[in-house]
Amino acid sequence: MPVPQETTSVSKPPIYILGNTPLGRYLAAKFIAKGENAVIIAPRNSCDSEIEISLREEHSLKKQKTNVPCRHYSSEKAKMLIITSQSRNLKSELMLLSSSHFSNAPVVVFSMLPDFRIIESLLRHSTIRAYFDGWLLSKDNQIFILGGEPQITLSKPFNTLEYSLKALSYFHSSEILCQTCEDKNQVFWQAFSVYAVSALASAFYRQSIFNILKNKEKQNNIEDAVNEICSLAAAENVSLDNAEILKKIYNTPINYVYDTQTPGDSSRREINNINMAVSDFARRHDIAIPALKKILPKDISA
């Protein structure tokens, strides 16, 4: 008589998401809704062992409630790693990861850094630059999806082609709109241009983008800053459409607020990181950026 085999349930390899950010929580909820084993990794002081997240679409009663596990370090081989950490927290949060867990996994980075060498040296892995085109507002564990449906752009350079296509298929299977772009620098500047100008202006004027743009003089300052950041991109061999970048800023949802609008240590660190990146590009190419300097808050550290 044959002995019955014991069956055990084996959980899927995790999709680790570094950073307890609105984007991290949004992606985790989307993956879990489609049966993936998504886990947020964040420091103990910023994340409980489990977070109940509700995704809510703007102008809709539709709400998707999800329980997302949160861990304080990576513990097993991953299917994919997604890095959403804010630039000011990135170095410390990378310490929560073990490079051995990501040797065969796509590593997708949404953090807006000009240079990914710190990530690649610590993880010993090539990275895929990503751009999130959408607006997420976080309040009391609710993630409000403002405006239209968000879309992700993944870089697809030759050295990460296999991993880029894997990541693309994972996003598609979880019904997250996703496309690819072969130029990783284009992906960076598409995201950074809008973010840098908007975050600086929000911090300088202590107002939302919607309220800033009500004033003609402030509008002109924003337009001049966009022209300058597009010039910096052009010096890096990236062609940006000034009108499209400006349109994106003008289309910022009425109730969207950048974190930099609220004074504080974290806001100053974020603005300092943006300023250092912008200033480095300007020095490298000997380009004057008076409009960007004009909307730089005076209370940040040098």
CATH number at residue 222: 1.10.1040.10
- In tens digits, the chain (302 residues) has pLDDT values of 444 443 333 578 999 999 999 999 999 999 999 999 999 999 988 887 888 888 887 666 567 888 999 999 999 999 999 999 988 888 899 999 999 999 899 999 999 888 888 898 889 889 999 999 999 998 888 899 998 889 999 998 877 889 999 999 999 999 999 999 999 999 999 999 999 999 999 999 999 999 999 999 999 999 999 999 999 999 999 999 999 999 999 999 999 999 999 888 888 888 999 999 999 999 999 999 999 999 988 766 44
Answer yes or no: is 160 within a domain.
yes
**Do 28 and 162 sit in the same domain of this protein?**
yes
pLDDT given for residue 112 in this prediction: 87
Assess if residue 10 is contained within a domain. no
Position 301 in a domain: no
Do 196 and 163 belong to one domain? no
Please give the Cα distance from 57 to 127 (Å, whole number): 31
Q: Which pLDDT score, from 0 to 100, does residue 8 have?
A: 35
Q: Where are the alpha helices (DSSP H) in the chain?
A: 22-33, 90-94, 117-123, 161-173, 184-205, 209-212, 216-235, 242-250, 265-285, 290-294
In-domain check, residue 280: yes
Asked if the structure places residue 276 within a domain, the reply is: yes
Range of the domain at 48: 15-182
Q: What 3-state class would DSSP assign to 154?
A: strand
Asked if residue 247 and residue 175 are part of one domain, the reply reads no
**Which CATH number covers residue 50?**
3.40.50.720
* Residue 68 sits in the same domain as residue 166: yes
Q: 194 and 137, same structural domain?
A: no
Residues 178 and 201 in one domain: no
Count of structural domains within the chain? 2
Whether residue 240 sits in one domain with residue 176:
no
- Domain final residue, candidates 164, 182, 200: 182
